[in-house]
Structure 1
């Protein structure tokens, strides 16, 4: 058996951007999720619409979309690709806000990094809006849930593994 090859390293072990020019353009999607854990006062402020800075959920949604679009500026070896659609779901729960992002493209490489960046920037936008109410907010469990397209085709996160 051979070790899996890290595609972002050249033969000498130096970082490189993978050449995707030979790949076929195809529809690709990625869905990621994450959670912002908040104090009860922040949850109450979100539910009542009384966040001092304004509509925190709207700001988080826009922040997530902007983050997806700017991913190659933030992740060093990520390809700049056309983003054809971004959906950001925000659900206020008893413990904070659950964030789900789905990013779509028709390109030569996937959008997993864009979906993850979307979730993280939505979380950061939300925290910025509620930090006066809850300076101890925590971002947790950011992960890819599903992807379609590319060489590996359709992938869905397996059920929870207690060792992960």
Structure 2
């Protein structure tokens, strides 16, 4: 994939020219985990946290972040995002965040899915930090990606979810 390098021969960064690539349907799923206490998890999922509905605010933040990715990550291409989902699963000691981003474009949406998961996790953290100063964002990673020349990627079944299922 040397033709897709973000570094020119002289060592300077540049945005990769993707104009010759075909438009295809693409998607990416990412996840993040916020660990906290069982009491805080209860408040998050009951909607009784002092700062308000943590999950509703984090969902909107994640969606907004996916759309703003090229403004945050310098070499990302602006993409016509056709869909973003941000879902939450209750864990005994935290919140599992799963995002999915879709597009029909010439490059993938892994960065948008990661940005959505990251900002949703940051928002959860921000809304609970007064309740649990030891809360952590423990993982952020791509789970799947589809479309494009490099083909599909699916995190191995033995890797997917192990960090949060053990929580």
- 1:144 matched residue in structure 2: 142
Structure 1 or 2: more helix by fraction: 2
Q: Give the gaps of 5 or more residues in structure 2.
A: 161-167
- 2:5 matched residue in structure 1: 7
Structure 2 length as normaliser, TM-score? 0.90
Structure 1 length as normaliser, TM-score? 0.91
- 2:42 matched residue in structure 1: 44
2-structure distance, mates of 1:148, 1:48: 35
- 2:84 matched residue in structure 1: 86
Contact 2:45–2:55 (Cα < 8 Å) also in 1: no
Q: Which secondary structure state, in structure 2, belongs to the residue aligned with residue 45 of structure 1?
A: helix
2-structure distance, mates of 1:67, 1:47: 22
Report the Cα offset of residue 91 of structure 1. 1.1
2-structure distance, mates of 1:16, 1:48: 46
Report the Cα offset of residue 126 of structure 1. 0.9
Q: Which secondary structure state, in structure 1, belongs to the residue aligned with residue 81 of structure 2?
A: coil
1:160 paired to 2:162: no
2-structure distance, mates of 1:44, 1:148: 35
RMSD between superposed Cα atoms in Å: 1.5
Q: C-alpha offsets along residues 57-96 of structure 1, whole Å, 9 cap, x if unaligned?
A: 0001001001100000111100011111001111121110
Q: C-alpha offsets along residues 7-41 of structure 1, whole Å, 9 cap, x if unaligned?
A: 10111121110001111111000000110001222
Q: Give the gaps of 5 or more residues in structure 1.
A: none
- 2:114 matched residue in structure 1: 116
